[in-house]
């Protein structure tokens, strides 16, 4: 397959992590929510959510610590710039703003491969601090 463009808006289809037995399991559920945007001028915005997050039933600023922790740990979002290394099939996200202040200023490297003209697989290496092990995210172009 010829090199395709990452530029566009993508919808998260699946999100998997290793199950410890050589297979993969759903990270949150079999229906994660997410959107990933790559612009032609090198900007990226990424958001992923666990569809099962309970409603806070109050303004987010007034949520109790327990509810806020559940909401926070069932999501990830950030924005910044990106660089593609086509030879190594990686895309590096340079984080400018994020749900986790610790991510700001970091470089998140993702392996990529096109599964079709409108489907991409991104792999988050196990060494990446944003996960507890390698993760695989499948995205469909919107």
Residue-by-residue DSSP string for 83-133: EEETTTTEEEEEEEEESSGGGTT-EEEEEEEEEETTEEEEEE-TT-TTSSS
List of the chain residues with pLDDT < 50: 1-2
pLDDT value of residue 3: 53
Predicted pLDDT of residue 113: 95
**R_g of the chain computed on alpha carbons:** 16
CA atoms of 80 and 38, how far apart (whole Å) = 10
CATH 2.40.128 at 8-141, yes or no: yes
The pLDDT assigned to 133 comes to 64
| Per-residue confidence (pLDDT) for residue 129, from 0 to 100 | 55
Distance CA 93, CA 134 (A): 16
**What is the pLDDT at residue 127?**
62
**Residue 79 pairs with which residues in a beta bridge?**
45, 97
Tell me, what's the pLDDT at 2? 42
């Amino acid at each position: 397959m010829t090199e395709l463009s990452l530029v566009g808006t993508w919808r998260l289809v699946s999100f998997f992590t290793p199950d410890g037995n050589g297979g993969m399991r759903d990270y949150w559920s079999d229906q994660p929510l997410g959107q990933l945007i790559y612009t032609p001028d090198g900007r990226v915005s990424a958001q992923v959510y666990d569809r099962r997050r309970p409603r806070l039933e109050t303004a987010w600023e007034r949520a109790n610590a327990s509810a806020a922790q559940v909401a926070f740990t069932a999501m990830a979002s950030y924005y910044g710039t990106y660089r593609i290394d086509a030879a190594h099939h990686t895309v590096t996200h340079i984080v400018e703003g994020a749900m986790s202040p610790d991510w700001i200023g970091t470089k998140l490297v993702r392996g990529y491969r096109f599964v079709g003209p409108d489907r991409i697989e991104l792999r988050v290496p196990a060494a990446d601090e944003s996960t507890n092990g390698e993760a695989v995210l499948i995205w469909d172009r919107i």
